[in-house]
Structure 1
Amino acid sequence: MLRVLSAAAIGLVFGTGIVIAGMANPAKVLNFFDVFGTWDPSLLLVMGSALVVTFIGYGFVLRRPAPLFDRKFHLPTKRDLDVPLIAGSALFGIGWGIAGFCPGGAIPALGSGEPSPLIFVAAMIGGILGANALKAAFTRRQALA
């Protein structure tokens, strides 16, 4: 139960930060990509600040033998670049550039009452389910070959 409450509190802090920084507003994000027009560098500042906080935070947290509400840290072990990683990254970037939303900004934006974050989140869930179905079908096909 503490893990769930902890995750909810962390999500609330993250979502609040996203909203305060204006990153739940797709126009602000799209203006970052419009380098020759209405360029807005604030996304760069938000991302840079997040990297600094994460770098410092991980330095403190990973000195502990384990997290407070789990038995071990769950850190990525895979370090190679493969097709799913590259393709997924490209799709993420293309979608972000088209819609102005990423999952971190779209979830808090659901509270705005606007239809665009709802459409984005529904499409994101559909994409996740579709990718999982394709991966399962590909894995089954390889097992039969």
Structure 2
Amino acid sequence: MDQDLCAAGWHPGRAVDVTDWREQLEASGEVRMHRAAAEFLVEFGGPNVEIDGPGSSSAREPFELDPGLCVGEEDRFAGWGADVGCSLFPIRELDQGRFFLGISEVGEVFLVETWVATFGVGDAALESLILGVVPQKRLRGVRR
């Protein structure tokens, strides 16, 4: 996992300023950057992880950890966060905007679309993304 992240520009102890992302996404009033989101983005925000090929249970998809790509989708994160009982803050888009990723206040990373699924918490979630592990659905139903 570290090899793929390092190739994208990440390194242990990395710290980036998240002020612009906070301001862009909080402007709508729909979402607030909580501590887990800020800590995750300070360390992992920005890199474009270029991966592909077969994964553990799904194809490995390239991703960019840029929450700014989620501007305009804040209501989606607020709605699904309420449905799963947490505060979801956007952290990136996946598959050229087909899916989004959000992080809860306990560090659980969710795939957000017209349904939600979890990749797990913290480093395990990031590892699942890199290894191509299918997320586990959390709710049934469709939100439009």
TM over 0.5: no
Greater relative contact order (Cα 8 A, min sep 6): structure 1 or 2? 1
Q: What's the TM-score once normalised by structure 2's chain length? A: 0.26
Q: What's the TM-score once normalised by structure 1's chain length? A: 0.25
Richer in helix (by share): 1
Richer in strand (by share): 2
Structure exhibiting the larger radius of gyration computed from Cα positions: 1
